[in-house]
Amino acid sequence: MARGYDEAKDRKNKVSLFGKTLVRRSKSTCELCGETGKKLNIFEVGKIEEEPDYDRCIHICDTCMDTIERLQKADENDLRFLNHAIWSEVNIVKATAIDLIKQIQGKYSWIDDLMDMVYMDEELAELVEKISRK
């Protein structure tokens, strides 16, 4: 049991090393909703790999983290952050938004409209496929 604990602790330490770089990239704002002045968390996107990867991490607030964790039960207004995230210039943020939209597609008409407006180049489409939670 101690080995699993040690491995989890080691992984958490490795992920926390991305913090400064994520703060610079995100400019201390939630990369999904754009809110500033909130506590930010490092969120690993997609299936957890053996080694943490900076390119699959985003900086998000507690509100967005909670919404992602209960996505199927989220209220329509809780999902409005997708309007911001879908236009991100950071591919992993945009891919995360697209993945979330795909998971709840058909639930609200504005989400379907948002997905219709998105242009996915080959690189972004591959990233979305790689992180897909379905």
Q: How confident is the model at residue 2 (pLDDT cuts 50, 70, 90)?
A: low
Give the residue-averaged pLDDT of 106-122.
90
Q: Which amino acid is at 43?
A: F
Q: How confident is the model at residue 1 (pLDDT cuts 50, 70, 90)?
A: very low
SS3 60: strand
- Which residues constitute the domain of residue 64? 2-131
Tens of pLDDT along 43-88?
A: 999 887 778 888 999 999 999 999 999 999 999 999 999 999 999 9
Q: CB neighbours (10 Å) of residue 104?
A: 16
Residue 131 pLDDT greater than 70, yes or no:
yes
Whole-prediction pTM value? Answer: 0.87
Question: In whole angstroms, what is the distance from residue 17 CA to residue 23 CA?
Answer: 11
Give the DSSP letter of residue 29. Answer: B
Residues with Cβ within 8 Å of 36's Cβ and at least 6 positions away in sequence, in order, are: 28, 29, 30
Structural domains in the chain (count): 1
